[in-house]
A and B are shown apart, each in its own frame.
Chain A
Amino acid sequence: MNPEQDNLPVVGSETVTLPSVRIFGVGNGGAALLAALCPTEFAGAQFAAVNTDAVALAASSAPVKINLESKLMRGLGSGGDPDRGRALAEEQFSTLKNACDGANVVFILAGLGGGAGSGISPVLAKAAREAGALVLAFVTLPFDCEGNRRESQAHAALEHLKHAADGVICLPSQKIFKLIDENTSFVETFNFTDGFLVEGVRGVWSMLNRPGLIQVHFADLCALIRDRHAENAFAFVEASGPGRAREAVEKILAHPLLDEGRALAESDAVLVSLTAGKDLSMAEVNRVMESVKRQCCHAQIIMGAGVDAALKDKLCVTVIAAKQNAAPTSVTPRTETRTANPATTTQRDVVLPRTGSRARKAGVKAVQGQLPLNIVSKGRFDKSEPTKHNGEDLDVPTFLRRGVPLN
């Protein structure tokens, strides 16, 4: 299924064709996400909950429970401090690694911002990679109203996670506000957010597991989201009936997580995966792809299509749009320097070889902000209305836009 599968340990006979997948829910948020996933849909995947809070863990329905509680914290959990969460996780690194043993793919579900999710997830990602699995993290960022401490913790954790995992798909909860009714209850809102993330997990799952006419490999997915994840946007839409292709396109273009299609226009890599019943027609695939292409003419597009008889007349489309992260400095808050104690530095050193040395430097060193490189003056057209043609500014000399050298 994925090219690296041959090198990985294979567990059980049913994983000959499918990668063995473990889904971890980390922290309270992760546990809630795990509960929202319907186990029947993810046949073949193993679920595990990881937490520092024994009481919360007991309430979880996951078959495997990993309690990181230790004497170190005197049974008080991480107390909302990611450093404590990380310390606990590192203390029991081998436990985590054993839990990942034999998996080809590890999904980490977590709500960032608290102690457990933010602290444990990066360590778990690292452990899973050391165990030989590819790691994909699905995380939520806190609502703005949860306070700036949680927000900065979440952003710091996201940075760590980006270095540790192969891919991070993150859902800023604040975007959900646009979708919900004023009278939606607090609990419902969180369920709603979880629902979105679960949709994303389901989309990726089906992309990787359903027999594909045009297969999307896990490597494709990782290549797409690696080093870009700051602005990953994803959408999962379903449509059925005779006009399902058009309906799906409309839903994608109106999807709030894609900023009504704007995220597509700004992205530089887009992955589109279509799954439908046996009656999936070429015209439908074409229709969806054409409209996506029109939205993002500059992006690299990876496309996959698969057939699943169980879907009957439903058409599911998963879109992941990744924007090149031009300004990593903005999401490297001060907490980063505070946590840059010897322990984390070593952790990074172990984790980073797969992301390249440049990323490591950016993470550790304070990077000076840069002004946009825009020295091309438009001469006499400086103040006139720009002549735009398919997004190109025709007032800029042609030889500059085409990069023709004059020597």
Chain B
Amino acid sequence: MFDDSNIIAGLEIGTSKICVVVGEHNADGGLNIIGLGQSRSRGVRKGEIINPEQVEEDLRAAMFEAEQMANVEIRSVFVGVSGGHIRGFNNRGVHPVVSADREISQDDLDDVVKNAKAINLPAENTVIHAVRQHFFVDGQDGVTNPVGMLGARLEVDMHVIHGHANRLQNVVRLVRATSLDVNEIVFNGIASSLALLSNEQKELGALVVDIGGGTTEFVVYYDGVIRHSGVLAVGGDHVSNDLAYGLKVPLSRAEKLKVEYGSALITEAAKGQTISINNDLGLELKRVNVEHLQRIMSLRLEEIFQLIAQELEGVGLTDYLRAGVFLCGGGSRVPGIVQLAENVFQMNVAPGHATAISGLTTALDQPEFATAIGLVKFGSLKNRKRNELPFYKKGIFGRFLQQS
């Protein structure tokens, strides 16, 4: 219990809930989920913190629950970040190989990666992830590791995800304030796709859409590497808000109606059907048409998919998604959403399941936890990498070396 080197915790501060997942490396090197904690989130809107005090309170509650369940003390977490300010794009770095024998060395590789990271970001933005896609040696495509090859010109494609530095820092500061360490911040979309996609699906090409409360993240994998990512600051909250506006009911009531009668497509049963909204005494206040409810909802969800489809069309990735589309997040619970997504994307759509991790099966089946589980997986991959490092790079000194 006191040796916590095997404990990995993922924390997602979402718009509707705060979620902590605790994982543990088992003896075979696999990953077990041993704890889960969640609480309602009140201080977050559109994926960004608007009331730190409230978030801190909710965060403590979720942490406490997770620690109780896993019976461990969580000291550090991998934190997921989201928000409309986060953007992803591809960038290419070039480096001429200057050594006499034209052999590409590790130094060349480091240089070209550095060049690809040197991009023109707005001054207030910072890079969250910079993922290598493929190397090109003298224009030869698809090289995954060029060290030892011969060539004159080394290029690399990187996918860079960046966001507003202060807003990202807000999350980190808040977590630190609860005397937790932040291992790393991870883009929620990447975390979700880590939880949902197997390596084969990443090879084939897949789109992950995480429909959360305040934001919708989407990530495209193809050829085993991330090709595109983005955030739409639209989510389940917008659906509720639309319903409140369109049906003229209070927001809290709209939320309930959404869960109870909501559908991504207008169902036959809903046509002409009305439901009455009663007050505490059982007196009827208002009648609401279910068809209208479902139409409002359907239009909003359809629009989210359409915006994503348009963006993928724009970057020419639509034809590469051979494994199809995977949905997760609370929004993927809406009945009929798979059908709706199939209509929009015109390809296979499946609700995602957190595969490749063993442990609490009930938790894994819930699409809301995909991001937090993905964060744990991200952590375990990072740890594994660290353990593979040579002896002298381990520990505090090693960490320093890694960062430098």
Q: Which residues of B contact A399 (CB under 8 A)?
A: 242, 246, 295-296, 299-300
Docked complex Cα distance between A379 and B300 (Å): 15
Can you list 7 A-B contacts (CB < 8 A)? Answer: A379-B241, A381-B45, A387-B46, A387-B232, A399-B299, A399-B300, A406-B292
Docked complex Cα distance between A398 and B295 (Å): 10
B238 touching A395, Cβ below 8 Å: yes
Using a CB-CB cutoff of 8 Å, which residues 273-309 of chain B contact chain A? Answer: 289, 292, 295-296, 299-300, 302-303, 307
Docked complex Cα distance between A127 and B12 (Å): 75
Does A340 lie at the interface of the complex (its beta carbon under 8 Å from any beta carbon of B)?
no
Nearest Cβ distance between residue A405 and chain B, in whole angstroms? 10
Q: Which residues of A contact B46 (CB under 8 A)?
A: 381, 384-385, 387
Q: Identify B244's interface contact among A379, A384, A402, A404, CB under 8 A.
A: A379
A-B contact count (CB 8 A): 65
Docked complex Cα distance between A384 and B241 (Å): 13
Does A71 lie at the interface of the complex (its beta carbon under 8 Å from any beta carbon of B)?
no
Closest residue of B by beta carbon distance from A395: B238
Q: Which residues of A contact B289 (CB under 8 A)?
A: 406
Using a CB-CB cutoff of 8 Å, which residues 363-407 of chain A contact chain B? Answer: 376-381, 384-385, 387, 389, 394-395, 397-400, 402, 404, 406
Q: Which residues of A contact B233 (CB under 8 A)?
A: 385, 387, 394
B232 touching A397, Cβ below 8 Å: no
The 0/1 profile, CB within 8 Å of A marked 1, for residues 240-259 of chain B is 01101110000100000000
A397 touching B245, Cβ below 8 Å: yes
Closest residue of B by beta carbon distance from A407: B292
Does B234 lie at the interface of the complex (its beta carbon under 8 Å from any beta carbon of A)?
yes
Chain A contact-residue range equals 10 to 19
B296 touching A394, Cβ below 8 Å: no
Number of B residues, CB within 8 Å of A = 24
Q: Which residues of A contact B251 (CB under 8 A)?
A: 379-380
B238 touching A394, Cβ below 8 Å: yes
B300 touching A380, Cβ below 8 Å: no
Docked complex Cα distance between A397 and B297 (Å): 10
Nearest Cβ distance between residue B359 and chain A, in whole angstroms? 36
A387 touching B50, Cβ below 8 Å: no
B84 touching A397, Cβ below 8 Å: no
Given contacts A380-B251, A384-B45, whether A398 and B299 have CB atoms under 8 Å apart is yes
- Add 8 more A-B contacts to A379-B241, A379-B244, A400-B245 (CB < 8 A): A380-B45, A381-B237, A384-B46, A398-B296, A398-B302, A398-B303, A404-B295, A406-B296
Docked complex Cα distance between A402 and B242 (Å): 13
Docked complex Cα distance between A389 and B215 (Å): 14
Docked complex Cα distance between A5 and B190 (Å): 65
Q: Which residues of B contact A397 (CB under 8 A)?
A: 238, 241-242, 245-246, 296, 300
Q: Which residues of B contact A376 (CB under 8 A)?
A: 245
Given contacts A387-B234, A394-B234, A397-B246, whether A380 and B241 have CB atoms under 8 Å apart is yes
Nearest Cβ distance between residue A52 and chain B, in whole angstroms? 59
Given contacts A394-B234, A397-B241, A397-B242, whether A406 and B50 have CB atoms under 8 Å apart is no
Q: Which residues of B contact A389 (CB under 8 A)?
A: 232, 307
Q: Which residues of B contact A378 (CB under 8 A)?
A: 241
Q: Which residues of A contact B299 (CB under 8 A)?
A: 398-399, 402, 404
Nearest Cβ distance between residue B340 and chain A, in whole angstroms? 13
Nearest Cβ distance between residue B83 and chain A, in whole angstroms? 10
Q: Which residues of B contact A381 (CB under 8 A)?
A: 45-46, 237-238, 241
Nearest Cβ distance between residue B376 and chain A, in whole angstroms? 30
Nearest Cβ distance between residue B231 and chain A, in whole angstroms? 10
Q: Which 9 A-B pairs have the closest CB atoms?
A: A397-B242, A387-B233, A379-B241, A398-B299, A398-B300, A406-B292, A398-B303, A399-B299, A394-B234
A380 touching B296, Cβ below 8 Å: no
Q: Which residues of B contact A385 (CB under 8 A)?
A: 46, 84, 233
Closest residue of B by beta carbon distance from A394: B234
Nearest Cβ distance between residue A238 and chain B, in whole angstroms? 32
Q: Which residues of A contact B295 (CB under 8 A)?
A: 399, 404, 406
A398 touching B241, Cβ below 8 Å: no
Closest residue of B by beta carbon distance from A402: B299
Closest residue of B by beta carbon distance from A406: B292
Q: Which residues of A contact B246 (CB under 8 A)?
A: 397, 399-400, 406
Docked complex Cα distance between A381 and B232 (Å): 15
Q: Which residues of A contact B50 (CB under 8 A)?
A: 384
Q: Identify B245's interface contact among A377, A394, A404, CB under 8 A.
A: A377
Closest residue of A by beta carbon distance from B240: A380
